[in-house]
């Protein structure tokens, strides 16, 4: 009887004991909620983060949100950023380190109206080109430097129009070409009534000017903490599972993104189309940064002429520690 009572008390103690709290992770996105970040929303929705004992908060970005500033201020554990922006921030004193690279290819391009007569990059001279700023201008400036085309205007240079995050300069013919992404703004141009055959696109990938986009970055000092590395390894493992699921179930992934869009601004048609294009950029990545991709990005950024994006080759700007640990889990 005593043994039975002891066993009962033990069982009750085990069933009434509080569950261990999950480790919290705050992820700051580079832009608003859209299929560009589907892997993270899918991982959260399908319980992939729960499976590795993580409670992940996903913070949308926007035109007034700079991820490097957010993480430097303690507002996030990990951020999504483009490598040019991250390396420029590192040189300016925010010690960002790339711990994973879910995107293998760049989706950035210049989209031009064929009626302008532009047929090749050399034809940019004397033209007005729309360029995004806030860190997104770095690949463009490096590309122009490699072409030997000044960005201060004039017949032998280009006039840079600081482009908002829309396609109005092309539609209103304020610019000959504008910055677009394969998965977003290009389709906004098409939806505005301009036919694909009326456009000419120059993909940064095809021009040898592509830099790495949408990597995961943390503060260098945090990698000294084994518990943080373990947490990030679980986060990356679950996130890459989310990206794999998004590639296998693109329509469902787009619906998950829509469910998480608190603004209600996104449409099903646009998100499903975006998901298809995004999957082309993540395909072939297991999350581990390819050093050759990093070195190409650095080489392009250092070749920025009189105003390079970075002035010296970075040290310690990436690490395989997290992805190596994630593979062993």
With CA atoms as reference, report the closest residue to 268 among 31, 34, 62: 34
176 and 266 in a single domain? The answer is no
Count of structural domains within the chain? 2
Is residue 275 a part of any domain in this protein? yes
CATH number of the domain at 73, please. Answer: 3.40.190.10
In a domain, 16, yes or no: no
**pLDDT at residue 3, as a whole number:** 46
Kindly report, residue by residue over 118-164, the tens digit of the pLDDT: 999 999 999 999 998 876 787 888 889 888 899 988 889 999 999 98
Q: Are residues 321 and 294 in the same domain?
A: yes
Range of the domain at 149: 108-203
**Nearest one of 163, 162, 176 to 126, comparing CA atoms:** 176
Provide CB contacts within 8 A for 183, sequence distance 6+. Answer: 35, 36, 107, 273, 274, 277, 278, 281
User: pLDDT of 261-278, one tens digit each?
Assistant: 999 989 999 999 999 999
CA nearest to 219, candidates 54, 74, 49: 74
Predicted confidence at residue 109, as pLDDT, reads 96
């Amino acid at each position: 009887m005593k043994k039975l009572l002891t066993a009962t008390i033990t069982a009750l103690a085990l069933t009434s004991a509080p569950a261990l709290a999950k480790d919290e992770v705050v992820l700051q996105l580079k832009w608003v909620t859209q299929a560009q970040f589907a892997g993270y929303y899918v991982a959260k929705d399908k319980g992939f983060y729960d499976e590795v004992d993580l409670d992940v908060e996903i913070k949308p970005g926007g035109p007034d949100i700079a991820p490097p500033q957010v993480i430097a201020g303690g507002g996030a554990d990990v951020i999504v950023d483009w490598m040019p922006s991250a390396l420029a921030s590192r040189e300016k004193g925010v010690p960002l380190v790339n711990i994973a690279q879910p995107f293998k290819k760049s989706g950035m391009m210049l989209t031009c109206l064929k009626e302008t007569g532009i047929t090749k990059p050399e034809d940019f001279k004397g033209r007005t080109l729309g360029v995004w700023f806030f860190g997104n201008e770095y690949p463009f400036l490096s590309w122009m430097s490699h072409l030997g085309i000044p960005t201060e205007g004039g017949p032998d240079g280009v006039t840079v129009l600081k482009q908002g995050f829309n396609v109005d300069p092309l539609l209103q013919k304020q610019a000959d070409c504008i910055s677009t992404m394969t998965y977003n703004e290009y389709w906004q141009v098409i939806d505005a009534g301009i036919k694909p055959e009326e456009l000419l696109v120059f993909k940064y990938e095809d021009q040898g000017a592509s830099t790495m986009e949408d990597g995961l970055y943390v503060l260098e000092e945090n990698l000294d903490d084994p518990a943080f590395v373990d947490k990030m390894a679980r986060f990356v493992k679950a996130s890459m599972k989310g990206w794999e699921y998004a590639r296998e179930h693109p329509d469902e992934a787009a619906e998950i993104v829509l469910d998480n869009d608190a603004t209600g601004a996104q449409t099903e048609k646009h998100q499903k189309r975006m998901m298809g294009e995004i999957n082309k950029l993540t395909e072939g990545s297991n999350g581990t940064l390819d050093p050759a991709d990093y070195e190409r990005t650095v080489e392009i950024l250092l070749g920025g002429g009189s105003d390079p994006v970075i002035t010296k080759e970075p040290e310690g700007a990436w690490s395989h520690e997290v992805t190596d640990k994630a593979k062993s889990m």
